[in-house]
Chains A and B, each alone.
Chain A
Amino acid sequence: EVQLVESGGGLVQPGGSLKVSCAASGFTFSGSAMHWVRQASGKGLEWVGRIRSKGNSYATAYGASVKGRFTISRDDSKNTAYLQMNSLKAEDTAMYYCTRHHPTDDVFDIWGQGTMVTVSS
């Protein structure tokens, strides 16, 4: 079965750090760029960032609101992508989704169920 499963969300204090994971199965993970998208409660989708495949030098890019604080990585041997979040702020509170960028078509064709991150004291 093709799926993405996020994990690792939770409650963290402002200024703290958290690392969430995205485990892939059912497709060739190593050949796919992986993105993170977040959604605050009652709000729209916001692109967080992406990591490309080994063939594209694992290149990363980030949205303006998280650049310099968040880092995306991947372990192709474990079919897993990661989102390391540092210097967290209350406004980072959201559901975090990982999603696959289809290797040949410009589309996010597979989405996980999301993991909730709450930044609060």
Chain B
Amino acid sequence: QSALTQPASVSGSPGQSITISCTGTSSDVGRYKYVSWYQQYPDKVPKLMIYEVNNRPSGVSNRFSGSKSGNTASLTISGLQAEDEADYYCSSYTSNSTVVFGGGTKLTV
């Protein structure tokens, strides 16, 4: 299975909004609602930020939102803050009953 495609890096200024894309295929992102997003600081454990395309776990800021169109999912962070600077990974369930991650996107604020 091939990794989902994410931009290597995105950047934004404090207060702005940014969007990170995650492109898969009709066998994963395009087929299921099971797309998740994770935030990871350097040398830290990944943290679930979005699940099932657009759901936020308890405690995650509402500045984080998710969406999907066709084979591409997106994570939007509004009102950027310095603390949002991290790596972000998407993942999707696949038609083979497996899970595939994206290559990760480094967000610079």
**Pairing of A with B:** no
**Which residues of B pack against A, CB within 8 Å?**
none
